Amino acid sequence: MRFTRTKAIIATAGLALALAACGDAGDDTEAVDVEVADDAASSFEDGTRMKELADAGTINVGVKFDQPGLGFKDAASDMPTGFDVEMAKVLVASLGIDPNDTEKVKYVETISDNREPFLEDGTVDLVLASYSITDERRAVVGQAGPYLVTGQQLLVAADSDIADVADVEGEEVCSVTGSTSLDNIEAEGAKPVGFDTYSECVEKVLDGTVSAMTTDGTILAGYAAQNEGDLKVVGDEFSEERIGVGYSIDSPEMCQWIVDTITEAYDDGTYEEAFTATLGPSGVEVPELPEMDACES
Partner 1 sequence: MNAVLDNFDLVLKAFGYTVFLFLVSAVISLLLGTVLAAMRVGPVSVLRMFGTGYVTLVRNTPLVMIFLFFQLGAGKIFDWLRFSWVDIQIGPFDFTSFFSAAVAALSLYTAAFICEAIRAGVNAVPLGQAEAARAIGLPFSGVMSQVVLPQAVRASVPPLASTLIALLKNTSIAGVFGVIEAVGRMKGFTNDYADQRWGIFICFALGYIILVELISAVALLLERRWKVA
* Piece of the chain touching partner 1 by CB under 8 A; list 40-48, 69-77, 207-215, 287-295: 207-215
Are the CB atoms for 245 and 86 separated by under 8 Å? no
At its nearest, how many Å lie between partner 1 and the CB of residue 138? 9
Comparing CB distances to partner 1, the nearer of 71 and 96 is 71
* Piece of the chain touching partner 1 by CB under 8 A; list 95-103, 121-129, 205-213, 214-222: 205-213
Comparing CB distances to partner 1, the nearer of 5 and 39 is 5
At its nearest, how many Å lie between partner 1 and the CB of residue 239? 13
Are the CB atoms for 162 and 236 separated by under 8 Å? no
Ranges within 77-136 binding partner 1 (CB under 8 A): 112-113, 116-117, 134, 136
Separate counts of helices (H) and strands (E) for the chain: 11, 12
Peptide bond into 290 cis (omega under 30): no
At its nearest, how many Å lie between partner 1 and the CB of residue 193? 4
At its nearest, how many Å lie between partner 1 and the CB of residue 126? 17
Bridge partners of residue 176, in order along the sequence: 195
Binding-residue pattern over the window 158 to 197 for partner 1, x denoting contact by CB under 8 A: --------------x-x--xxxx-xx-------xxxxxx-
Ranges within 241-270 binding partner 1 (CB under 8 A): none
Q: Give the three-state DSSP class for 201.
A: helix
Determine, following the binding rule CB under 8 A, whether residue 13 of this chain makes contact with partner 1: yes
Task: Report the distance separating Cα 182 and Cα 190, nearest Å.
Answer: 9
Q: Is the Cα dihedral 70, 103, 44, 47 positive or negative?
A: positive
Task: Report the distance separating Cα 95 and Cα 207, nearest Å.
Answer: 47
Task: Report the distance separating Cα 281 and Cα 285, nearest Å.
Answer: 10
Comparing CB distances to partner 1, the nearer of 70 and 92 is 70
CB under 8 Å to 248, separation ≥6 — which residues?
Answer: 49, 119, 120, 122, 125, 141, 142, 254
| Residue from 66, 86, 200, 216 in contact with partner 1 (CB under 8 A) | 200
Per CB under 8 A, residues contacting partner 1 are 2-3, 5-6, 9-10, 13, 17, 19, 112-113, 116-117, 134, 136-137, 139-141, 172, 174, 177-180, 182-183, 191-196, 200, 203-204, 207-209
